């Protein structure tokens, strides 16, 4: 048995065994066996208490049906009373424990789901991986006679969970927000909401989407410096108060349409080395910040912080240090003008895959040093970051089939060569191209490299090959200069690290259908996720344990002996997921 979908997931089940209930690593409920709920009138009483029909207001029967019979009826009644009092104490202790927990934790102890439940994904059992699931799905798609599928994603939500734990370890002072525009698939939003992230939205549709799954307005930032008035009014109506701005016109729009908004001033950065440069389009120069803050004060607008974004794939971590220093200067200007600033937003730009020019740990080391210098821990400033690619890039794998092919001779063959092996290149056409899922070819200057679903033999010859999208123009080239064996229509190609700016792109470009996403998670990752939500029981006199952060765990280089949220064995084995 490789995989299984949980009960209630419909036809998504890929296994034969019935699913197990999620393992909660938090405090175990003290309910009697087979009870139907906390304090339920139909809860099965402990052994030694009569099980008789009664109304919810009726106490347990005082007639014992079991227990020691030596010593006569008096000993039997005493035994029963002791058992009854013990059961009542357990009920009271459980009710007190429930009252101490956060409401979301109480729901979980009652067996109710939060944002994410087992019905939202396929559980990958120990010993197997999402790659095995992908093989199963491609095989099923190849054999399907109806509803032909030409492309789909497999998303490893466990990879998202691991990225979050890594973030908390490397940047313990920073509260992460997720940039919804990067990948707005429901599975990603639910798992990140379950992990406690906030959400950075660029428009009304994204705010609607995250609020639809239950995210409160207090965890949403409307972070687009160029906002439509209708979208500002939507934010005002639905309680989203934290907005960004970088010019006078944007400030005036917010003053008119959302007077109770709290504003974050977005400043320009030196992103000359970044692959995706943003400062030409977004961000106020340092010279203009005083003027903008003065106008905000005159308009009675509350400016509560500063944000910046150094762009994607910046090879120079010192750009973060310089931007943090610039933000410190703007904080001082704001304080001088009477603004009470308490938010610093580091933006994004963090790498989503391994093997980049600058490792994530190098960037975070520079950031931590700059924060200690310019915004020490006791300064009262809340540090945020808006991450997109970091969380989702490596979590998504794309499987796509060849829909057409054409052999092109490189040179005009002579009569003698017509029937021989003249040099040729093979053009393969795919269901998606650079105007959809493979847009990174245009925007990030990447060259996607496919993995063959069927491993070729070493004896098969290789041919010069190229991959093209479905658009009828000469620009929809996904990849060229590839050397591949002879492939056929219907064969599957696999592309890894396809989570950023891919899901939903088809609908934005006028397509009528987007690729289906199958979500998966290993049981170990699921138990780690549930464990970080339910604090483990510990003695009142326990000392030297980690203290929980608002968004999840506190993870240090050396884990504390008694972690608050999850067993250390789960954390140490996360790298093997």
Query: pLDDT class for 389, splitting at 50, 70, 90?
Result: very high
Residues facing residue 122 across a β-bridge: 5, 520
- Length in residues, the chain: 577
Residue holding tokens 């410190």? Answer: 328
Q: What is the pLDDT of residue 279?
A: 61
pLDDT digits (tens, 9 = 90+) for 402-443: 999 999 887 665 555 555 566 789 999 999 999 999 998 887
Q: CA-CA distance, 397 to 387, in Å (whole number)?
A: 20
**pLDDT exceeds 80 at position 232:** yes
Give the Cα separation of 366 and 156 in Å (integer): 30
pLDDT at 53 exceeding the cut of 50: no
Per-residue pLDDT tens digits for 250-290: 999 999 999 999 999 999 987 665 556 556 568 899 999 99
**C-alpha angle with apex 321: 319 to 324, nearest 5 degrees?**
110
Among residues 513, 527, 332, 327, the alpha carbon closest in space to that of 437 is found at 513
| Both tokens assigned to 182 | 């990067």
pLDDT of res. 93: 66
Where is pLDDT greater, at 559 or 541?
541
Q: Please give the Cα distance from 251 to 111 (Å, whole number).
A: 46
pLDDT tens by residue, 337-359: 999 999 999 998 898 888 777 88
| pLDDT value at residue 343 | 98
What token pair was written down for 9? 């997931």
Query: 149 or 445, which is more confident?
Result: 149
Distance CA 286, CA 51 (A): 75
Distance CA 71, CA 76 (A): 8
Mean pLDDT of 518-543: 68
Domains and CATH numbers, the chain: 28-109 (no CATH), 149-394 (3.20.20.10), 398-511 (2.40.37.10)
**Given a cut of 80, is residue 2 above it in pLDDT?**
no
| Confidence (pLDDT) at 278 | 58
Which residues in 200-215 are b (16+ Cβ under 10 Å) and which e? bbbbbebbebbbeeeb
108 vs 565, more confident:
108
Which comes out higher in pLDDT, residue 140 or 314?
Answer: 140
Predicted local distance difference test score (pLDDT) of residue 325: 96
* SS3 state at 384: strand
Residue 394 pLDDT more than 70? yes
- Residue 349 confidence (pLDDT): 84
Q: pLDDT digit string (tens) for 168-224? A: 999 999 999 999 999 999 999 999 999 999 999 999 999 999 999 999 999 999 999
Per-residue pLDDT, averaged over 138-146, amounts to: 76
pLDDT for the residue 96: 60
What whole-number distance in Å separates Cα of residue 113 and Cα of residue 115?
Answer: 6
List the one residue out of 181, 184, 171 whose CA is nearest residue 203.
181
Residue 161: per-residue pLDDT:
94
Mean pLDDT of 285-311: 95
Report the b/e string of 379-418 with b at 16+ CB within 10 A: eebebbbbbbbbbbbbbbbbbbbbbeeeeeeeeeeeeeee
CA 35 to chain centre: 34
Percent of the chain at pLDDT above 90? 49
Q: What is the mean pLDDT of the chain?
A: 76
Place of tokens 């980690």: 546
User: Are 222 and 240 within 8 A, CB to CB?
Assistant: yes
Confidence check: pLDDT of 155 > 50: yes
Mean pLDDT to the nearest integer, 531-551: 41
pLDDT at 142: 79
The pLDDT tens digits for 83-135 are 666 766 766 665 565 555 444 444 433 333 489 988 999 999 888 888 889 88
What would the two tokens of residue 179 be?
């940039």
pLDDT at 200: 97
Q: In the predicted model, is pLDDT for residue 547 greater than 90?
A: no
Residue 22, pLDDT above cutoff 50: no
CA distance 425 to 569: 52
| pLDDT given for residue 544 in this prediction | 36
Does 52 score more than 70 pLDDT?
Answer: no
Residue 458 pLDDT more than 70? yes
Q: Averaged over 460-471, what is the pLDDT?
A: 92
Q: How many CB atoms lie within 10 A of CB 236?
A: 18
The pLDDT, as a whole number, for residue 69 is: 44
> Confidence band (pLDDT; 50, 70, 90) for 244?
very high
- The confidence score (pLDDT) of residue 147 equals 62
Q: How much of the chain, in percent, has pLDDT values that exceed 70?
A: 66
User: In the numeric block, which tokens belong to residue 114?
Assistant: 């939060």
Q: Say if residue 58's pLDDT is above 60.
A: no
């Amino acid at each position: 048995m490789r995989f299984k979908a949980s009960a209630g997931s419909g036809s998504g089940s890929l296994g034969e065994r019935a699913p197990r209930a999620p393992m909660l690593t938090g405090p175990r409920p003290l309910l009697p066996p087979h009870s139907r709920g906390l304090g339920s009138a139909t809860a099965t009483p402990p052994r030694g208490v009569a099980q008789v029909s009664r109304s919810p207001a009726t106490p347990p029967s005082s007639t014992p049906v079991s227990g020691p019979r030596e010593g006569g009826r008096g000993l039997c009644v005493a035994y029963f009373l002791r058992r009854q009092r013990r059961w009542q104490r357990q009920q009271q202790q459980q009710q007190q424990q429930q009252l101490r927990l956060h409401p979301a934790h109480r729901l979980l102890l009652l067996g109710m789901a939060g944002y994410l439940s087992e019905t939202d994904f396929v559980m990958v059992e120990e010993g197997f991986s999402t790659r095995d699931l992908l093989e199963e799905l491609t095989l099923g798609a190849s054999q399907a006679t109806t509803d032909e599928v030409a492309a789909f994603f497999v998303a490893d939500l466990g990879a998202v969970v691991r990225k979050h734990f890594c973030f908390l370890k490397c940047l313990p002072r920073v509260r992460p927000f997720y940039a919804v525009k990067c990948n707005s698939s429901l599975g990603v939003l639910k798992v990140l909401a379950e992990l406690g992230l906030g959400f950075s939205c660029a428009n009304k549709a994204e705010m609607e989407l995250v609020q639809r799954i239950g995210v409160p307005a207090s965890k949403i930032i409307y972070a687009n410096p160029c906002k439509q008035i209708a979208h500002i009014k939507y934010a005002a109506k639905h309680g989203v108060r934290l907005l960004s701005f970088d010019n006078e016109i944007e400030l005036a729009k917010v003053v008119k349409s959302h007077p109770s908004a709290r504003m974050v001033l977005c400043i320009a950065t030196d992103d000359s080395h970044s692959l995706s440069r943003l400062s030409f389009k977004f961000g106020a120069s340092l010279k203009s910040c005083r003027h903008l803050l003065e106008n905000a004060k005159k308009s009675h607008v509350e400016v509560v912080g500063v944000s910046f974004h150094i762009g994607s794939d910046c090879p120079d971590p010192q750009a973060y240090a310089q931007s943090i220093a610039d933000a410190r200067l703007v904080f001082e200007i704001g304080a001088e003008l009477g603004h009470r600033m308490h938010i610093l937003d580091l933006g994004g730009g963090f790498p989503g895959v391994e093997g980049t020019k600058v490792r994530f740990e190098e960037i975070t080391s520079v950031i931590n040093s700059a924060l200690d210098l310019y915004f020490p821990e006791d300064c009262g400033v809340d540090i945020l970051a808006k991450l997109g690619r970091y969380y989702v890039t490596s979590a998504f794998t794309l499987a796509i089939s060849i829909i057409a092919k054409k052999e092109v001779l490189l040179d005009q063959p002579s009569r003698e060569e017509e029937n021989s092996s003249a040099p040729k290149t093979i053009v393969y056409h795919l269901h998606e191209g650079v105007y959809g899922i493979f847009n990174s070819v245009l925007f990030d200057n990447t060259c996607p490299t496919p993995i063959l679903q069927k491993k070729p033999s070493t004896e098969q010859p290789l041919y010069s090959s190229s991959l093209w999208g479905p658009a009828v123009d000469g620009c929809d080239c996904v990849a060229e200069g590839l050397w591949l064996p002879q492939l056929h229509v219907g064969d599957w190609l696999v592309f890894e690290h396809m989570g950023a700016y891919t899901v939903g792109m088809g609908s934005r470009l006028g397509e009528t259908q987007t690729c289906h996403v199958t979500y998966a998670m290993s049981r170990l990752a699921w138990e780690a996720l549930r464990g970080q939500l339910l604090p483990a029981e510990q003695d009142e006199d326990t000392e030297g344990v980690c203290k929980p952060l608002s968004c999840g765990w506190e993870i240090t280089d050396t884990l504390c002996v008694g972690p608050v949220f999850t067993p250390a064995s789960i954390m140490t084995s996360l790298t093997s997921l």
